[in-house]
Structure 1
Amino acid sequence: MLRPLGRRPWTCRKCLHLQSRNFESAAYPAPRAHVDYVPADNTAPKKNADDDTLRRVFDSQPFWKEFSHPRSSKVPKRAGLVQNQYLTNPDGFRAFANVSLQKCQTIVAKVLAASTLEEYRGLARNLDRLSDLLCRVIDLSDFIRTIHPDPKIQEAATQAYALMFEYMNVLNTTTGLHEQLGKAMANPEITSSWTEAETIVAEILRKDFTNSAIHMPTDERQRFVNLSNDISQVGSSFFNGAEPAKSQLVFNANSLQGLEPMVVQKIKRWNNKAPVPTMGIVPRLVLRSVREESVRKEVYLASRTSSPRQIHRLEKLLMKRSELAKLSGFNSFAQMTLSDKMAKTPESVSNFLTSLISSNRGPVSEELAQLQQMKGSSALQPWDHAYYVHKRVLEYSQSRRSRELSAVPEFFSLGTVMQGLSRLFDRLYGVRLVPQEATPGETWHPDVRRLDVVDENEQHIAVVYCDLFSRPEKHPNPAHFTLRCSREILADEIAECASMDQSAHPNDGMATAVDPRTKTLRQLPTIALVCDFQEPLSNGSGRPTLLSEQSVRTLFHEMGHAVHSILGQTPLQSISGTRCATDFAELPSVLMESFATAPEVLSLYARHWQTGEPLSESMMRSMEMDRHAHGSIYGAVENEAQILMALVDQAYHAIPCDDAIKGVDTTEIYHKVFSQYSSLPDPDNVRPRTSWQGFFGHLYGYGATYYSYIFDRAIANKLWQDVFDSGKSAVDRAAGERYKNEVLRWGVDATAGNASQAFWEIRIPRTPMVDWWKAATKPCVRSVVGV
């Protein structure tokens, strides 16, 4: 009811970084005319100063140290993590959870006791606040336990998460709450007084109750709670427990010819033996560079073979999910999950994916034929693909403007790219990013930068914490986390909070602001962005972090999720920002990738980190040609890899419940899918068989919905063409306002309200899923499939 089952705090862990290969997008717009470099608005001194500071806090270590140092000589009072007043120490998590639990219990009692029209009229808002209180603890604790370097903080956050997650599942099966909601929704005198937002939230909550087995007998509802808790625990263990069956392979260093000498030197031991780890960057470099095929084969097989205990976690997860689906009256977990998604049914998703495989087969054959020609007479194998692709890319780069292309990162310092994002948001939506000094204790690591988001009236509307630099023990995958959603805080809530504790803050001390239009206090979106870029050098050279074009697109992608949260300024948190259907959530982030290298956007920010010289028209053209060349070399095969992963996800979760409960052989199913659909031969005859599915972390957070990445790319491609690339400049305020008001303003599925109907017709007209996708992606399937 209060939170869809199994929904994790929104994290976009892009599959091209999570999986064992690097998947690059082949979705690039046609070349466009060069647009002159447009600097920041110098007529607004404060905006210009903020713009310059934004670049320097990311590009200059000396500047950052000075900026982040407290201005006052007084020792400032220590703040809690992300300004949360409770989280000043590990024990604070327990206090935070208990206070939130007490508030929840007060609201539950209030809802259950409602009897008058006035009390029922407030029911949708009260239930939304109840959901917010749960999410406050669950979202923030789940993030902190994965990112914080202190084990004591991690453990405390895990305990707070478990307490509130279990309580949430109990509420989801509380019949009295469901009955009260049903009474309110059946009375026109009540529903006629609700706002559009309250009506949408009530409908969402009613669906969530239905999905939570609310109509079952008491003992079955308790079993539902227990299964939900089991799924959370097992799923989390699977997501965080990826490990190979063998941690390393040992080769003679001489057999690693082709690998960069520095890498060989780093792993080589005194007896000329070179242990190659089977996880991380080194095996990927081996597959891409080592000339000896037998070495590549051994590394390929080992890096795709999970440990038995990791496979056991996955199979237990699938069994538990099937038990839950059966208990809820569904034939499969996929049927249960997709019932409220845009796709609706497993059959629709399966038809969509197999259609894509078929449409993509021709381009795949062309690419593999080119690589086969490079290899010669012996058959091309899966462990050959990365090697010959890399070889072709190198040949291309050496023959075409290699010097100019190698200089491209010089124009993409991290601070410059952050400037570009801020300038783009300012021109499209009227909001910008402003660096803000964090209070001691506010961030989980000294490298974390806090940005405030302000609008054109200098109103504070959101907070973004940027943890963008690599460090030991930090998870390397880029991610977006919504730590707290936007919502209104009403006067009675403020009074109630004060009555409980005079020192308590209605938003736990986290960011709030008064809406100048409604004069109401607002809970501001609080967001964390996590990446894994190298820190700027502190050796006096002044050289900042320089990003590859792929890293620029990654940062734009994650900031696409953030802007969804930032602009989703709804009165109720259940429909704000990334609180949306899973197969819609990737649309804003994928769309942002198109902005990253559009000439008009590059002209806003891309300039040399030393000279300030803008990216030239010839360099833009070289980048464009390079992207198209890369797409023609390996785009279709990588697209197929993404479709295969989505097919595996569907195959696991579409198993009939009765069959899955008896046990699932995930390795057998994985190889069956690849044998049936993969254009590259599946090494099924190797013993023990490879079991790459153990590394497929998205099977937890995206169970039965991994197709979303592919589907949303098609939607984003059409939206880009129809709205932002329709003859005008991509940096068009009218287009930005339309997109903001008709899509980003609502986190909820657009079919639930009237505000988004115009864009809903763009996103998914009422035609079969596959037919619409084909129409949206003409003339070339591989121009939009890649992730």
Structure 2
Amino acid sequence: MIKAVARPRQWQQWICTACRSQRSRRAWPARQYQHRRLITTSRPAASELELETDPDSELGSPSREAPLLREDDFILRSVFDYPHIWKEFSHVSGGVNVGLFRNPYLKHPRGFLTFARVSLKKARAVVDRVLAASSVAEYRAIVRELDRLSDILCRVLDMADFVRVTHPSRLTQRMASEAWDMVYQYMNELNTMTGLHDQLAVAMANPDVTAAWSEEEKAVAEVLKLDFTKSAVNLPQKYRDRFVELSSEISTVGSAFVQEMAPDQPALVLPSGDFFGMDPLQARDLTRGGKVHLPTLSGQAALALRTVHSAETRKLIYYASRTASRRSVEMLEHLMKLRAELAALSGFESYSHLVLRDRMMARTPEAVDQFLRALAASNRPQARREMAELLAEKQKVNPLAASLDPWDKDYYSEAIRQRLKQSGRPSDHLSSYFSLGVVMQGLSRLFTELYGIRFVPKQPLVGETWHPDVRRLDVISDTDGHVAVLYCDLFYRPDKSPNPAHFTLRCSREISEAEMAEVWEQSQNDPEMIRFARPEIAANDGMAFSEQGGSVRQLPTIVLICDFPQSSTSSADQPALLSFFQLETLFHEMGHAIHSILARTSFQTVAGTRCATDLAELPSTLMEYFAADAAVLGQFARHYETNEPLPYRLVAHQVRLARRFEASDAENQIILAMLDQALHSPAARRPDFDSTAIFHGLQRVFGSGPPDPPGTRWHGFFGHLSGYGGAYYSYLFDRVLAQRVWDVVFSSGVRRGALNRRNGERLKESLLKWGGGRDPWKCLAEVLQDGRLADGGEKAMALVGSWGSTRP
């Protein structure tokens, strides 16, 4: 019932670009910079207003900001681009340790345990009050009380979860893990506490209670009710015990499936002459005694499939890299059967039925099936054309070839891409226009244009951040003032995960006067609790909050993690230069952040990205369209040395290259989403359940290219089946929706549609600001002005699928 929400993250890797050192610039303080001209301050010429249609244009960088905002804008670029400026800006001489994230409980590692104990005391007080509720007024407050209970626990769980995988101190990691375990154990106790479930049910059944609830409150009540149902809290004790056993076993088996998956054949050993066409340096590194020792699951194997000329060698590599061990497949099927039993115990027809009832727009497997079939039909013509191109490419080498083999697709796709690459300038030249500071500057300008918010660098206090490289930004609204805190940990460190990610450490929530008074009284009487200066500070554990219109709100506290390379030169003024792929990645993760920033709801259960799971990737995927838009890039993209504007043809070339076989890639994702649904269907409970037969069957029916040959078992490597079980279609669903929003709301970027404030307000007011506090189908119907979507269901899902996922 009460849970911390961890959103799926997409793991990607980057290739850094070497660059020349830059001449040193003037040192801090900031007042010396406001007169410097590093951005174009004049209005754009009329011809520049249609840049998005002209790939040969050079992008201007207009600025219409007031002087103070321009100064903030320039400081923003400087603190990310020039390490010595950040060092001077962030330097604090002396000062008191304020604790991690300005939470004074976290001044030292063991403070996590104190914070957990204090939080559990607060939580137990809320639980006692909910269980004792008897009057209409008390029942009306139950949703707010349960939301507060969730917030108390999530303040520890979300923060500790981030720290235990990111903080450079092992001791701090360990203490955060212990705090997480302590609170998670209590949360599991709550999930099987029948009294909370029964009290919520009484409240929801009383019209005098529900009539006083807002739309947001009702949405929270439904989420909490479903969470109880999924935890089998309404079942007799022996079934609840079995539910707990199954949940534990599913977690164990799922982790083992991901961590222990292995190929049937760990490595291939072949004569080095069989690898003609592969990068000779890569091949040489793998060669011993005239033989190439090729690990089956490796980047080198993927490279060999794209470049080795010998079809027979590629065939051997393909079979090896597409065949998981029997143990991996058996473990996967065991996981599917355990999930099927759990779903049956909870009263659902299948695990997919169970998952899709929980904050999912699709709601049923039948609706997902309608979406995927419609999407497959929409995508199929282009996928077939792409396969025909590959066959034509093969026939240039072998005129008698009548068909493609499975091991041909990557090889001939690469051949076509290489020709396209040679027709443009090197991609590493593009990175010269994307220094990290310039990109952060551009994101702030974009959000100012669309939503009236901007990023302002803030000097971190002693103990506030976990590493000197971390930049703190305050998010400032032109109407609401300070609305969020954003910590940016964007540079590579050896002890840091290379995976880009967005963390919401604390969600938006309205804090009542009664809550502030209660926490204040507790802090005066409990020696373990910190005594803060004022009740509102105590209610926020010392972290950021706002006071507007007589209400107090905790501000969203967000962390962005990336792994961009800092300069390898000794110059203090050398900025980090991003590839276009890294630019897209940062825009994507910032899309999650802007969702958390704009969806400042009164209840944390539905704040920010805590919306329908199959809607959560829409804002982030949409941001990838902005990353490739000419007008948006014209707001900021400048050469880091010469300050010349970016020639858009470089971006257009990069985008064409990335999308060259987009339909084929989409088709593969469609088949994997169908596989996810099939494996989590009632079929998992049948004696003849055969995951391999299901996968190959889907490939034969829905694939435009050659299916995997008999004997292969690639699905044994499909690790997302553990974390995304029953919901893998969400990525495709949000990609279709993002394209539709881009086309309908932002006019595909035509006539500077990506920078139109009316368009941004339309997206914010209709969809982004609601988080999970409103029916997402109503949000989509409003933002797209399409009444066919309002009620959701199978027809709406099929309609979305018919729009397609490939871009023109």
How would you bin the TM-score normalised by the shorter chain?
Answer: 0.7 to 0.9
* Superimposed CA distance per residue, residues 52-104 of structure 1 (whole angstroms, 9 cap, x where no aligned partner): 23223333333344444x331x2x44454434433445433333333222221
Whether the 8 Å CA contact 2:622–2:739 is kept in 1: the answer is yes
User: What is the correspondence of 1:155-234 to structure 2 with a 5 Å cutoff?
Assistant: 155-234=174-253
Residue 109 of structure 1 pairs with residue 144 of structure 2: no
Paired residue secondary structure (2:475): strand
Whether the 8 Å CA contact 1:60–1:536 is kept in 2: the answer is no
| Residue of structure 2 in register with 1:741 after alignment | 765
**2:103 & 2:460 partners in 1: Cα distance?**
13
Quick one: which of 564, 570, 576 aligns to 2:595?
564
Quick one: which of 731, 743, 759 aligns to 1:721?
743
Whether the 8 Å CA contact 1:79–1:88 is kept in 2: the answer is yes
**2:681 & 2:762 partners in 1: Cα distance?**
38
Q: What runs of 5+ residues in structure 1 fail to find an aligned partner?
A: 19-28
Quick one: which of 13, 27, 30 aligns to 2:10?
13
Whether the 8 Å CA contact 1:79–1:441 is kept in 2: the answer is yes
Whether the 8 Å CA contact 1:512–1:521 is kept in 2: the answer is no
User: What is the correspondence of 1:54-93 to structure 2 with a 5 Å cutoff?
Assistant: 54-68=76-90, 70-72=91-93, 74=94, 76-93=95-112
Residue 133 of structure 1 pairs with residue 161 of structure 2: no
> Which residue identity does 1:552 align to in structure 2?
L
**1:443 & 1:230 partners in 2: Cα distance?**
37
**2:146 & 2:707 partners in 1: Cα distance?**
51
Whether the 8 Å CA contact 2:59–2:646 is kept in 1: the answer is no
* Superimposed CA distance per residue, residues 263-320 of structure 1 (whole angstroms, 9 cap, x where no aligned partner): 456x356756655444554443333333344444444444444566655654443233
**1:657 & 1:780 partners in 2: Cα distance?**
30
**2:387 & 2:779 partners in 1: Cα distance?**
46
**2:101 & 2:329 partners in 1: Cα distance?**
36
Residue 537 of structure 1 pairs with residue 568 of structure 2: yes
User: What is the correspondence of 1:82-481 to structure 2 with a 5 Å cutoff?
Assistant: 82-236=101-255, 238=257, 249=268, 255-264=274-283, 267-268=285-286, 275-279=293-297, 281-306=299-324, 311=329, 314-340=332-358, 341-376=360-395, 377=398, 379-398=403-422, 400=423, 402-403=424-425, 407-456=429-478, 459-472=481-494, 474-481=496-503
Name whichever of 31-40 and 161-170 sits farther off. Answer: 31-40
Quick one: which of 595, 606, 615 aligns to 1:575?
606
Whether the 8 Å CA contact 1:165–1:229 is kept in 2: the answer is no
Whether the 8 Å CA contact 1:166–1:225 is kept in 2: the answer is no
**1:472 & 1:552 partners in 2: Cα distance?**
22
| Residue of structure 2 in register with 1:495 after alignment | 517
The TM-score with structure 1 as length reference comes to 0.86
Shift of 1:774: 6.6
| Residue of structure 2 in register with 1:32 after alignment | 53
* Superimposed CA distance per residue, residues 3-41 of structure 1 (whole angstroms, 9 cap, x where no aligned partner): 3xxx75123316x769xxxxxxxxxx9953669623444
**2:301 & 2:684 partners in 1: Cα distance?**
38
**1:90 & 1:317 partners in 2: Cα distance?**
37
| Residue of structure 1 in register with 2:544 after alignment | 512
> Which residue identity does 2:702 align to in structure 1?
Y
CA distance 1:690–1:146, change in 2 (3 Å): farther
Shift of 1:424: 0.5
**1:531 & 1:356 partners in 2: Cα distance?**
32
| Residue of structure 1 in register with 2:18 after alignment | none
**1:253 & 1:444 partners in 2: Cα distance?**
48
**1:113 & 1:331 partners in 2: Cα distance?**
35
**1:640 & 1:756 partners in 2: Cα distance?**
25
Paired residue secondary structure (2:567): coil
Shift of 1:615: 1.7
Higher CA-based Rg: 2
Residue 624 of structure 1 pairs with residue 649 of structure 2: no
Quote the RMSD (CA, aligned, Å): 3.4
CA distance 1:625–1:189, change in 2 (3 Å): same
| Residue of structure 1 in register with 2:74 after alignment | 52
**2:185 & 2:338 partners in 1: Cα distance?**
16
Whether the 8 Å CA contact 1:200–1:753 is kept in 2: the answer is no
Paired residue secondary structure (1:532): strand
| Residue of structure 2 in register with 1:43 after alignment | 66
| Residue of structure 2 in register with 1:23 after alignment | none
> Which residue identity does 1:12 align to in structure 2?
R
Shift of 1:576: 0.7
Shift of 1:480: 1.8
Shift of 1:113: 0.7
CA distance 1:245–1:546, change in 2 (3 Å): farther
Quick one: which of 549, 571, 581 aligns to 1:550?
581
Count of aligned pairs between the two proteins: 753
Q: What runs of 5+ residues in structure 2 fail to find an aligned partner?
A: 15-49, 524-528
Residue 607 of structure 1 pairs with residue 635 of structure 2: no
CA distance 1:303–1:51, change in 2 (3 Å): farther
Whether the 8 Å CA contact 2:430–2:650 is kept in 1: the answer is no
| Residue of structure 1 in register with 2:42 after alignment | none
Whether the 8 Å CA contact 1:11–1:481 is kept in 2: the answer is no
CA distance 1:232–1:94, change in 2 (3 Å): farther
Shift of 1:535: 2.4
Shift of 1:157: 3.5
Shift of 1:128: 0.4
**2:567 & 2:70 partners in 1: Cα distance?**
23
Whether the 8 Å CA contact 2:378–2:801 is kept in 1: the answer is no
| Residue of structure 1 in register with 2:667 after alignment | 640
**1:42 & 1:295 partners in 2: Cα distance?**
60
CA distance 1:369–1:760, change in 2 (3 Å): closer
Whether the 8 Å CA contact 1:169–1:225 is kept in 2: the answer is no
> Which consecutive segments of 4 or more residues in structure 1 shift more than 6 A?
752-757, 767-770, 777-780
Shift of 1:645: 1.4
**2:105 & 2:185 partners in 1: Cα distance?**
21
**1:386 & 1:292 partners in 2: Cα distance?**
13
> Which residue identity does 1:691 align to in structure 2?
W
Paired residue secondary structure (1:515): strand
The TM-score with structure 2 as length reference comes to 0.84
**1:693 & 1:229 partners in 2: Cα distance?**
22
Shift of 1:152: 4.3
**2:430 & 2:612 partners in 1: Cα distance?**
37
Quick one: which of 679, 687, 693 aligns to 2:704?
679
Whether the 8 Å CA contact 1:231–1:321 is kept in 2: the answer is yes
Whether the 8 Å CA contact 2:375–2:804 is kept in 1: the answer is no
Shift of 1:139: 2.2
Whether the 8 Å CA contact 1:578–1:585 is kept in 2: the answer is yes
Whether the 8 Å CA contact 1:536–1:543 is kept in 2: the answer is yes
Whether the 8 Å CA contact 1:302–1:690 is kept in 2: the answer is no
> Which residue identity does 1:645 align to in structure 2?
L
Shift of 1:156: 3.8
**1:160 & 1:310 partners in 2: Cα distance?**
33
CA distance 1:635–1:658, change in 2 (3 Å): closer
Name whichever of 198-207 and 268-277 sits farther off. Answer: 268-277
